[in-house]
Chain A
Amino acid sequence: MTRLRYVGSDEGGSNLAYVNARVRARRAALLDEADYRKLIRMGPNEIARFLEETEYEREVNALGARHSGVDLVEYALNENLSRHFRDMLDWADGHLYEQIARYLRKFDAWNIKTALRGIYTDSERAEIENDLIRAGELSDAQLNAMLDAANVEAVIEASSGTMFHDALVEAFDAFEETNLLFPLENAIDRVFFENLISGVAVDAGPAARVLGGQRLSTGSPTDIYHEFLIAEIDFVNVRNALRIARSGAEMDTADYLIEGGRLFDAAELARLVRNMDDLVAVIRESRYGDRLSDALNALEEAESMLEVERAIDVALVEYGDWLGSRHPVSVCPVVSYILAKELEVRNIRAIARGREAGLSEEEIREELVMP
């Protein structure tokens, strides 16, 4: 059945207004700083009770009979995340549906990476399963096949039929040589982002395809989404570049650069990762300089990369919000909601786990990522 194309609809039958209204309502329902302050002082069971009075009510009630404490919080968070993201796919039509679905494949990427990491480190099956986020396209059968895999090769086998399979097979040699997961994880990221950006470029029409994302934004919703994705790729590249530069490892950076970004090309990146100061200077002078200044300041002060990575996450959500306010009825608010929701779930999980491990309030507060 062909979908009706509304007169004047710029996004091929998308119901942007409807989805935006719902997403913004959910965005407003996310926990705020005051809630986090309360949560930090609570034990795992209290956290579960607190969540029962929020967005997470349905999941906490459903799972409350079977689990308790940190487990309950953990399961409820994952279930809730999956439900919210599935809802968005239920609401969306037309191009918007495709854009969201393509973006949500990030959880497929996450799940395959989690399975790889879990199998690689010989973790318990239940532990790996806890960390899966069932919000992407992979079916339960596919995910279970990955969980049941005996080794990394079997996980790759189980991913056949997905868009990641070929790249994983290719990267497997590098994995065997180095016995590091980085080549495999990077292959997944590359496939994900390259698929994402090429999909949008096709949507945006011939101009975008010819010039490969280098054209000026005309301000249409697709263009703005395109811009956001480029920023996300750039941020991932920045993160990888900083990691490589910090570790001082000699690696072929071209393999780790995700195509489609604006900030680096392969040759430049190879030069920059050898010199941290140059790399930081280039990032500071780039179009993202202001947004990433917190991250770069943290880099200069901090001992660990964690704080830098958190600052990059926050910068990305803020960039999404900024684009969303430039074009209020577009896919951007949806994407920045996805990011914000992910951060919230990550924060609550960090609090619950931190409390259980007996961390101090101060230590837990440092773990939180708040846009």
Chain B
Amino acid sequence: MLELLTDPTILEAAANEYTVEAAEAWSEGIRVGAAALSVGLAALASGYAERQIGAAAVGAMAEDPSTFGRGLILTVLPETLVIFAIVVIFLV
């Protein structure tokens, strides 16, 4: 039994397996991180873009409530950025 544990070839194989696993985990982590970053940045950008559009849309609606539909559509247009970012999650 002791021989088995101290056998250099077995030890080496175990070490190699461990390194491969670690590398795989590491790359998986990077991938998830990249996806999270892309969604996060895209969300930030669309929020920034929606800020002005939303303000203008609310202004227009206050004057004429019939612009609600159009205002809403224009306000959420930059939301497409986030949708593209979600596609990125599946690609990475």
Residues of A within 8 A of B (CB): 6-8, 15, 17-22, 25-26, 29, 91, 329
B59 touches A17 (CB 8 A): yes
A22 to B51, CA, bound (A): 16
Which residues of chain B in 6-53 are interfacial with respect to chain A, using CB atoms and an 8 Å cutoff?
48, 51-53
A18 touches B51 (CB 8 A): no
Given contact pairs A6-B51, A8-B48, A17 touches B56 in the complex (Cβ within 8 A): yes
Q: State which of B48, B58, B64 has its C-beta within 8 Å of the C-beta of A18.
A: B58
B59 touches A18 (CB 8 A): yes
A329 to B52, CA, bound (A): 10
A25 to B58, CA, bound (A): 12
Which residue in chain B gives the minimum CB-CB distance to A15?
B55
Q: Which residues from chain B contact A22 at a C-beta distance below 8 Å?
A: 59-60, 62-63
* Interface residues of B, dominant DSSP: helix
Q: Known contacts A18-B59, A21-B58; can you find 12 more A-B pairs with CB under 8 A?
A: A8-B48, A17-B56, A18-B58, A21-B55, A21-B56, A25-B59, A25-B60, A25-B63, A26-B63, A29-B63, A91-B59, A329-B52
Most chain B CB within a 10 A radius of its CB, from A6, A25, A26: A25
Q: Please, could you name 25 A-B residue pairs with CB atoms under 8 Å apart, sorted by A?
A: A6-B51, A15-B55, A17-B52, A17-B53, A17-B56, A18-B56, A18-B58, A18-B59, A20-B56, A20-B59, A21-B55, A21-B56, A21-B58, A21-B63, A22-B59, A22-B62, A22-B63, A25-B59, A25-B60, A25-B63, A25-B64, A26-B63, A29-B63, A91-B59, A329-B52
**B57 sits at the interface (CB 8 A):** yes
* Total residues of chain B contacting the partner, CB 8 A: 13
A22 to B67, CA, bound (A): 12
- Closest-CB distance, A331 to chain B (whole angstroms): 15
A18 to B62, CA, bound (A): 10
Which residues of chain B in 45-92 are interfacial with respect to chain A, using CB atoms and an 8 Å cutoff?
48, 51-53, 55-60, 62-64
A18 touches B55 (CB 8 A): yes
A19 to B52, CA, bound (A): 11
A22 to B55, CA, bound (A): 10
Q: Which residues from chain B contact A17 at a C-beta distance below 8 Å?
A: 52-53, 55-56, 59
A29 to B60, CA, bound (A): 12
Q: Which residues from chain A contact B57 at a C-beta distance below 8 Å?
A: 21
Q: Which residues from chain B contact A7 at a C-beta distance below 8 Å?
A: 48
Q: Which residues from chain B contact A18 at a C-beta distance below 8 Å?
A: 55-56, 58-59
A18 to B59, CA, bound (A): 5
Q: Which residues from chain A contact B52 at a C-beta distance below 8 Å?
A: 17, 329
- Closest-CB distance, B55 to chain A (whole angstroms): 4
- Closest-CB distance, A7 to chain B (whole angstroms): 8
Q: Which residues from chain B contact A29 at a C-beta distance below 8 Å?
A: 63
Most chain B CB within a 10 A radius of its CB, from A8, A15, A19, A22: A22
When A and B form their complex, which 5 residue pairs have the shortest distance between CB atoms, in order from nearest?
Answer: A21-B59, A25-B63, A21-B56, A18-B55, A17-B56
Given contact pairs A6-B51, A8-B48, A19 touches B59 in the complex (Cβ within 8 A): yes
- Closest-CB distance, B70 to chain A (whole angstroms): 12
Q: Which residues from chain A contact B51 at a C-beta distance below 8 Å?
A: 6
Q: Which residues from chain B contact A8 at a C-beta distance below 8 Å?
A: 48
- Closest-CB distance, B47 to chain A (whole angstroms): 11
Which residue in chain B gives the minimum CB-CB distance to A24?
B60
Which residue in chain B gives the minimum CB-CB distance to A29?
B63
Q: Which residues from chain A contact B55 at a C-beta distance below 8 Å?
A: 15, 17-18, 21
A7 to B53, CA, bound (A): 15
A26 to B64, CA, bound (A): 10
Q: Which residues from chain B contact A6 at a C-beta distance below 8 Å?
A: 51
A21 to B58, CA, bound (A): 8
- Closest-CB distance, B34 to chain A (whole angstroms): 25
Most chain B CB within a 10 A radius of its CB, from A7, A17, A20, A29: A17
Q: Which residues from chain B contact A25 at a C-beta distance below 8 Å?
A: 59-60, 63-64
- Closest-CB distance, B75 to chain A (whole angstroms): 11
- Closest-CB distance, B68 to chain A (whole angstroms): 13
- Closest-CB distance, A29 to chain B (whole angstroms): 8
A25 to B60, CA, bound (A): 7
A20 to B57, CA, bound (A): 10
Most chain A CB within a 10 A radius of its CB, from B53, B56, B64: B56
B48 touches A21 (CB 8 A): no
